[in-house]
Amino acid sequence: MLQAAEQFFAQPTDIAPDRQLSLGRRLLEDGLIAPWQLFYGLSALTKWDACLADVLIAKSWVSEARLMPYLSDHYAAQVIDLKQAPPDFRLSQLLPASFCIKHAIVPWISTNGQLVFATSRPHAFETLKPALPAGPNGLRFVLVNERDLHEHLAKVFHHDLVHLCETRVPSEKSCRDWTGGENRRYKIIATLLAMMVTIFAAFPIETLLFIAVIILFTQAMAANMKASAFFKSRPAKVVRPKTHGKLPKISVLVPLYKETEIARALIRRLGALTYPKALLDVVLVLEEDDTQTKAALDKGRLTDWMRVVQVPPGSGLTTKPRAMNYALDFCKGDVIGIWDAEDAPAPDQLEIVAAHVLSADGDVACWQGILDYYNPKTNWLSRCFALEYSMWFRTILRGMSRLGAAIPLGGTTLFLRRDAIEAVGGWDAHNVTEDADLGIRLYRHGYRTELISTVTQEEANCRFQPWVKQRSRWLKGYMITYLVHMRRPRLLLQELGLRGFLGFNAIFLSTLSQFLLAPFVWSFWLIALGAPISWLTILPNTLILLVTALFIGCAALDMTLAVTSLKGQNRRWLAGWAATLPFYFTLATVAAYKALFELVSMPFYWDKTAHGQTPEGLQAEYSALSP
């Protein structure tokens, strides 16, 4: 095998490649491209972070196979087939798996004192040289097909990659140490419940007063947060930021799992994107055993800028963050984005993202777009869901970001600097709301998140049971995220600062208490309406009225925020439905107690949301909403 590889260097070269002639000139001389195509490609290189080969292939002017002999001449490097001449396995430990995959390079052989690398990105070799080990007589490279290289690396480093995708986040900032111990968690919960019952039996008035104070405190904190966010979120005129530098290559991860209904619609929607295809790298992330989605994708035609990465099984964990951790190293871009299977992003979304990336301060590592729904007219549930999202992304998150608070991210239309997501350890593979957790970890590492004015529409869950399943996963993830980051509250306070710490508690604690303590609040409502509830009548009337008034005030605030957030969306018809939001939010109490049960019994269980369940889910093309 090694002898076959070394024969490439023994072959005589008839004519030494003319290093003075550019690759484009040689292609032009041989008639592979026209003068105007060369002019276009060279002009693009002044504005894009790409090489000429990327531009020509992206425009379908030259195929990769046709271009390979010219790259070989241009770089004086042989072209090899890794299946026929695989790398020397003894060299596999010279570089980490993640480095090899990220830079599309692998130690191939050592011959005549030279260490030879196989790479599919020859234009980046000189830049990468200082980070590579060398033989006594230096190093050089050979050319390979990138798909073959990735397949080889995935096979050789299989164990390392599977382990890494589940453990990227340091254990002290992850919930993975909750694995097992189910009986212990049951015992702890049973002990806590017994203590609560005992305390209530011994001190009923004091216990009820304590619960009422918690309700007052958390709801007042939530109201203050929402009001502050509202005043801070009032936009400013949307102005495209001034940019400097070349447009970056953007990789977008699209995790898919059993998405047979939506797969073809997804490919059609992504086809509307207007970002230069030479800078676009869409990675469809599939579980290795998900043959259904793979078959659905095979029926469609993937373009050159779309590709599939299959995630092999590991410990039995099957979550979105685990899949994204695995696919991260396979990305080509310096900016990493995330879309969900049912997403319909605005066609110019990536141009807006790139403009923000190029103009942002150094501590900004994340850009969160606006999420909305393309099926608000389906039924009452979808209308209220659309109002909730409008209020959350256009008012609360935008305002909290401008206030400098740590914010939980949305799971899609999210774009990150690659160096930042790698620095914080990727996603917690075991957290079922990895987005919320990532937002807090970014802030703890000194990074900021900006809300940007671009919209992605997706499908609102509009049936009760799927809605409860999805909401219970979100709330369970909020519980896990809160408990993980509050392990060491003093350290959290130190890293977030007082304002960030209060914002963190305002978002997580008030959200969870709002739903978990809702039955208690409903009792206050009933008393205020004259219903005889003897176990609560022992409380002072002033306190009962205060809790009831605060609840009414918070509900009114939610309705106000929902209505005002509709401005500019051409959806004013939704405003009347804001009056029903208090009834809508009561449904989340069912989800909250389901989440609490699963927190104890199966904290890592991912209750998957089915997509493509409405006509809009299959037919909607892209977002036409105003940000």
Residue that is last in its domain, among 164, 198, 222: 164
Q: Which residue has the tokens 């292939």?
A: 57
**CB count in 10 Å sphere of residue 615:** 10
177 domain residue, yes or no: no
As a whole number of angstroms, the distance between CA 504 and CA 497 comes to: 10
Lowest pLDDT segment from 67-81, 121-135, 383-397, 525-539: 525-539
Mark residue 217 as left, alpha or beta (left: phi above 0; alpha: psi -120 to 50; beta: remaining): alpha
170 domain residue, yes or no: no
Percentage of the chain beyond pLDDT 90 is 52
Lowest pLDDT segment from 120-124, 536-540, 550-554: 536-540
> Could you tell me if 232 and 127 lie in one domain?
no
Q: What is the pLDDT of residue 6?
A: 45
> Could you tell me if 280 and 330 lie in one domain?
yes
The C-alpha torsion from 610 through 614 and 619 to 621, rounded to 10°, is -70
The C-alpha torsion from 477 through 483 and 488 to 493, rounded to 10°, is 60
Quickly state the pLDDT bin for 42 (edges 50, 70, 90).
confident
For the record, the structure tokens of 195 come out as 């203590």
For the record, the structure tokens of 17 come out as 């490649």
If we measure between CA atoms, which residue out of 374, 369, 375 comes closest to residue 349?
369
> Could you tell me if 116 and 210 lie in one domain?
no
175 domain residue, yes or no: no
| Run of H or E residues at 409 | none
pLDDT over 90 at 447, yes or no: yes
Question: What integer is the mean pLDDT of 258-270?
Answer: 82
> Could you tell me if 614 and 504 lie in one domain?
yes
Residue that is last in its domain, among 133, 164, 195: 164
286 domain residue, yes or no: yes
| Run of H or E residues at 450 | strand 448-458
> Could you tell me if 37 and 98 lie in one domain?
yes
147 domain residue, yes or no: yes
Quickly state the pLDDT bin for 196 (edges 50, 70, 90).
confident
Q: Which CATH number does the domain housing residue 44 bear?
A: 3.30.300.160
Q: What is the pLDDT of residue 19?
A: 40
For the record, the structure tokens of 545 come out as 């009225």
> Could you tell me if 100 and 197 lie in one domain?
no
The arrangement of strands across the sheet holding 105-111 comes to: 105-111, 114-119, 139-143
pLDDT over 90 at 569, yes or no: no
> Could you tell me if 121 and 240 lie in one domain?
no
114 domain residue, yes or no: yes
> Could you tell me if 215 and 146 lie in one domain?
no
pLDDT tens readout for residues 330-381: 999 999 999 998 899 999 999 999 999 999 998 999 999 999 988 888 899 9
**pTM surpassing 0.75?**
yes
pLDDT tens readout for residues 240-255: 556 678 999 999 999 9
Kindly tell me the number of DSSP H helices and DSSP E strands found in the chain.
Answer: 25, 11
Residue that is last in its domain, among 137, 164, 191: 164
Q: What is the pLDDT of residue 237?
A: 52
> Could you tell me if 447 and 328 lie in one domain?
yes
Q: Compute the half-sphere exposure of residue 162: CA atoms within 13 Å on the CB side of its CA.
A: 16
Q: What is the pLDDT of residue 18?
A: 40
- The domain of 574 spans 182-627
As a whole number of angstroms, the distance between CA 496 and CA 406 comes to: 7
> Could you tell me if 137 and 229 lie in one domain?
no
> Could you tell me if 592 and 507 lie in one domain?
yes
Count of structural domains within the chain: 2
Q: Which CATH number does the domain housing residue 401 bear?
A: 3.90.550.10
pLDDT over 90 at 535, yes or no: no
> Could you tell me if 202 and 155 lie in one domain?
no
Return the amino acid letter for 377. Answer: K
366 domain residue, yes or no: yes
283 domain residue, yes or no: yes
pLDDT over 60 at 17, yes or no: no
Q: Which residue has the higher pLDDT, 322 or 4?
A: 322
Percentage of the chain beyond pLDDT 70 is 88
